[in-house]
Amino acid sequence: MAREVGTEGKLGGQAQVKGVSGTWRDLTDNVNQLASTLTTQLRAIAGVSTSVTRGDLTQRITVEAQGEVADLKDNINQMIVTLRETTKKNAEQGWLDSNVARIGGLLQGQRDLGEVCRMIMTEVTPLVDAQLGAFFLADTDEGVVRLRLTASYGYVARDHHVVFGPGEGLVGQAALSRRPIRVGSEPTGTLTLRSGMLDARPRDLVVLPVLFEGEVLGVIEFACIDAFSDLHLTFLERLVATIGVALNTIQANRRTEELLAQSQRLAHELQEQSAELQRTNNELEEKAKLLSDQNINIETKNHEIELARMGLEEKARQLSAASAYKTEFLANMSHELRTPLNSLLLLARLLADNPDENLTAKQIEFARTIHSAGSDLLSLIDDILDLSKIEVGRMDVEPTELRFDEIRGYVEQAFAPQAEDKGLRFLVETGTDLPDMLITDAQRLQQILRNLLSNAVKFTDTGEVALRIQTAEPSPDLDMPALQAARTVFAFSVTDTGIGVPDDKLSLIFEAFQQADGTTSRRYGGTGLGLSISRDLARLIGGTITVVSEPGVGSTFTLLVPDVLAPDAVVAPMPAPAPPRTTVPPLLRPTTETVLQPSAASRALDGATVLIIDDDVRNVFALTSALELHGMSVLYADNGGDGVRALAEHPEVDIVLMDAMMPDQDGYETTRVIRRNQHNAGLPVVFLTAKAMPGDRESAIAAGATDYITKPVDLDELIDLMASWVHGTADRTSQEGGAA
């Protein structure tokens, strides 16, 4: 049996020698013990080898052995370790290749960038055991690269848009450096992973730029409660290259499709033009055949008519260009005139208020006279701008309820003192059948009455000026559809005993810049705009103006308006948004000059910090002088870039006064830059500008302005406006639609 174990290699056998004792017995026992140990060792090796063969690489041979058996055991164990590592690497490589290929396959044929971003977040975030994911897509719509949050996974969005510029935050830094960024730390950050039952903070964060040929197309960010594995990080680094190719392909395809669509559209238009040209050629051939049958005189006349038509078209183009140039000129002149006028009125007001009480009564009267003259100049500027806005159809109407006793009160308050100064009787008479109110545009009606009554007082030296308000019957003879369809027509008749207007001048006085007496030696001054503006304003509110006059006896101008102003009945171009009316007095504001004492609003601004961004030193000086007298601290920047830097250096700023027209970076762009900083989201930014053409207010609000006021400013109104925004009492609903 010993020979079977030792020589033939049979396991499990025992040496059985009967009838021996002493040394032979000991030798037999030793052989049996050796055979048992060897059997155990070889069975352990055989068992582990079988497990490895079946694919279980977790087993190890742990039996004690010596000699060649020990070497065999160690070699097998090392083989198992090597095989396990190789198998793991192969499995990881297989996982890596298969998932990169799978995601790449999902990207194939995609056309929508937003859908691609959402798909990547949905598929990749759980694949790398992350719990939060965000995809920031690059765009250059504003002329600079901006990284905007386009899709996310598990992210609770903030109230504002998440946008980064190059170098801003880790997202912007990854885009700028074009290298991945990894942040691993204890969970002390502010970002929280949230579910219905759990709040947890990520422990590991990785930010990877998505590139194609060196160009940044986006940035992907993932956060994980545990640390990312090397396999997952390698997968993400390979994946962003695939994503970059896919995004570039989608963008290239979209550009190609756009070019193709444009090409097809142009081809279609060319085809239509070709057909039209063919039709035209056919018509011309027919006309040529007809013309050939006519005599030379008819051909000559046709040629002359064609030349005349071409001349008229050229004249029309010239008139259109001249109108556009005039509108642009008026806008520029408005800015150029209002800016110095703003300084003049503010400084004159400060002198008239005499805060240091060091001026004589005569000097104060001089200051008031300067202020009054400046106000007259402002009224002239407003008349010119009103005429321009009416001509281009950009004057709006706002129907409201207006009481007749309010009209009477305003007229008496505004014109009775003027008539009394000239020794005239002033009357306001109302019919007994008048209702309490009418529905019309109060501001436009007020402006018309102000023009008519001002002219009546101006051109009357003796006698009286009267305003009579009564009802009139609608008539088909009236040239306004609103008057023809109205239930009731109201007549506002302004009668005077002045110089009158000759019959041949009646049509002339309603033309812009024209007067009945237009000579240089005329007795009465003025621009000749009042009646022209009044006629057009009357049409805006659905009415008309008639006139009856006799030289040397007097005139009666009658404004006819419907009882209810329906916007669809107004015969006027579709109105565009109008600029603010800070320059037009409210309905019941007195016209006499008054010096106001410090208001509650100005006292509330004591100690406030104001940043003025304006390139006009005169305007800054006047504003600074006025605001500092009210206890405010004033900072100044003469361009948009310096203004943004000053705001960053002085977080104590309570309000910004912004000019619209500045070199390099205007007020609109400066306001957009200010609003991109979330710390300035609630900072009041008030446009204080001399640019007062239609649409300017809406442009300012769209750029992020809080409010808008035109130069020259009424100091009290400016103080009240600033106080309402600084102390949060202003109505923000007027600018929520355009602020960005």
What's the pLDDT band for 703 if we cut at 50, 70, 90? very high
pLDDT (tens digit, 9 = 90+) per residue, 443-465? 889 889 988 998 899 889 999 99
pLDDT (tens digit, 9 = 90+) per residue, 2-17? 445 444 444 445 555 5
User: Does position 167 have pLDDT exceeding 80, yes or no?
Assistant: yes
Cα separation, 593 vs 345, whole angstroms: 13
Q: Where is pLDDT greater, at 275 or 520?
A: 275
pLDDT value at position 733? Answer: 37
Structure tokens at 279: 């039709």
Contacts of 570 by beta carbon, 8 Å cutoff, 6+ apart: 397, 482, 539, 540, 541, 542
List the chain domain ranges.
2-83, 110-257, 397-569, 600-734
User: Does position 193 have pLDDT exceeding 50, yes or no?
Assistant: yes
Cα separation, 91 vs 102, whole angstroms: 16
Query: Contact 448/407 with Cβ under 8 angstroms?
Result: no
Provide the residue type at 292 as one letter.
Answer: S
Strands lying side by side in the sheet with 425-430: 425-430, 464-472, 489-496, 554-562, 544-550
User: Does position 270 have pLDDT exceeding 70, yes or no?
Assistant: yes
Structure tokens at 261: 């669509």
Structure tokens at 325: 């140039």
pLDDT value at position 646? Answer: 92
Cα separation, 345 vs 349, whole angstroms: 6
What's the pLDDT band for 408 if we cut at 50, 70, 90? very high
pLDDT value at position 246? Answer: 85
pLDDT value at position 159? Answer: 55
Residue 469: count other Cβ atoms within 10 Å of its Cβ.
20
User: Does position 588 have pLDDT exceeding 60, yes or no?
Assistant: no
Query: Contact 506/549 with Cβ under 8 angstroms?
Result: yes
Averaged pLDDT of the chain = 77
Cα separation, 490 vs 599, whole angstroms: 40
Structure tokens at 106: 């999902």
Classify 197 as helix, strand or coil: coil
Q: Where is pLDDT greater, at 384 or 604?
A: 604
pLDDT value at position 259? Answer: 87
CA 508 to chain centre: 46
Cα separation, 367 vs 345, whole angstroms: 9
Strands 655-658 and 204-212, bridge-based pairing = unpaired
Provide the residue type at 186 as one letter.
Answer: E
CA 334 to chain centre: 25
Q: Which CATH superfamily is domain 600-734 in?
A: Response regulator (3.40.50.2300)
What's the pLDDT band for 577 if we cut at 50, 70, 90? very low
Classify 485 as helix, strand or coil: helix
Cα separation, 303 vs 309, whole angstroms: 10
- Residue that has been written with the tokens 């006349």 in this structure: 301
User: Does position 601 have pLDDT exceeding 60, yes or no?
Assistant: yes
Contacts of 211 by beta carbon, 8 Å cutoff, 6+ apart: 178, 217, 240, 241, 244
User: Does position 574 have pLDDT exceeding 90, yes or no?
Assistant: no
User: Does position 482 have pLDDT exceeding 50, yes or no?
Assistant: yes
Question: Quick one: which of 624, 620, 679 has its CA closest to 648?
Answer: 679
User: Does position 520 have pLDDT exceeding 60, yes or no?
Assistant: no
For the purposes of burial, counting CB atoms within 10 Å of the CB of 490, is it exposed (0-12), middle (13-18) or buried (19 or more)? buried
Cα separation, 151 vs 639, whole angstroms: 37
What average pLDDT does this structure show over 518-545? 66
Structure tokens at 9: 């290699």
What's the pLDDT band for 472 if we cut at 50, 70, 90? confident
User: Does position 24 have pLDDT exceeding 50, yes or no?
Assistant: yes
Least reliable range by pLDDT among 407-421, 565-579, 684-698 = 565-579
Cα separation, 110 vs 246, whole angstroms: 8
The CA–CA distances, whole Å, from 168 to 171, 175, 306, 641, 680 equal: 7, 9, 65, 18, 17
> Best-predicted range by mean pLDDT among 488-502, 519-533, 585-599, 684-698?
488-502
Q: Where is pLDDT greater, at 212 or 30?
A: 212
Question: Which class in CATH covers the domain with range 110-257?
Answer: alpha beta
User: Does position 497 have pLDDT exceeding 90, yes or no?
Assistant: yes
Global confidence as pTM:
0.38
> Residue 92 belongs to what H/E stretch?
helix 67-107
What's the pLDDT band for 534 if we cut at 50, 70, 90? confident
Q: What percent of the chain has pLDDT over 70?
A: 70
Contacts of 573 by beta carbon, 8 Å cutoff, 6+ apart: 392, 393, 394
pLDDT value at position 333? Answer: 66
What's the pLDDT band for 582 if we cut at 50, 70, 90? confident
Query: Contact 203/224 with Cβ under 8 angstroms?
Result: yes
Helices and strands: H and E segment counts in the chain: 18, 20
Q: What percent of the chain has pLDDT over 90?
A: 19
User: Does position 125 have pLDDT exceeding 60, yes or no?
Assistant: yes
DSSP secondary structure, 150-196, as one string: EEEES----SS--EE-TTSHHHHHHHHHTS-EEEE--S-SS--EE-S
> Residue 716 belongs to what H/E stretch?
helix 715-726
Cis amide linkage into residue 712, ω under 30° from 0: yes
User: Does position 545 have pLDDT exceeding 70, yes or no?
Assistant: yes
Least reliable range by pLDDT among 60-74, 125-139, 310-324, 356-370 = 60-74
Strand-pair partners of 562: 489
Contacts of 333 by beta carbon, 8 Å cutoff, 6+ apart: 381, 384
Architecture, CATH, for domain 397-569: 2-Layer Sandwich (3.30)
Q: Where is pLDDT greater, at 75 or 676?
A: 676
pLDDT (tens digit, 9 = 90+) per residue, 288-316? 777 777 778 777 888 888 888 888 888 88
What's the pLDDT band for 87 if we cut at 50, 70, 90? low
Residues in the chain: 740
pLDDT (tens digit, 9 = 90+) per residue, 623-645? 888 888 888 999 999 999 999 99
pLDDT value at position 734? Answer: 40
What's the pLDDT band for 160 if we cut at 50, 70, 90? low
CA 80 to chain centre: 67
Query: Contact 181/207 with Cβ under 8 angstroms?
Result: yes
Indicate if 397-569 has the same CATH topology as 110-257.
Answer: no
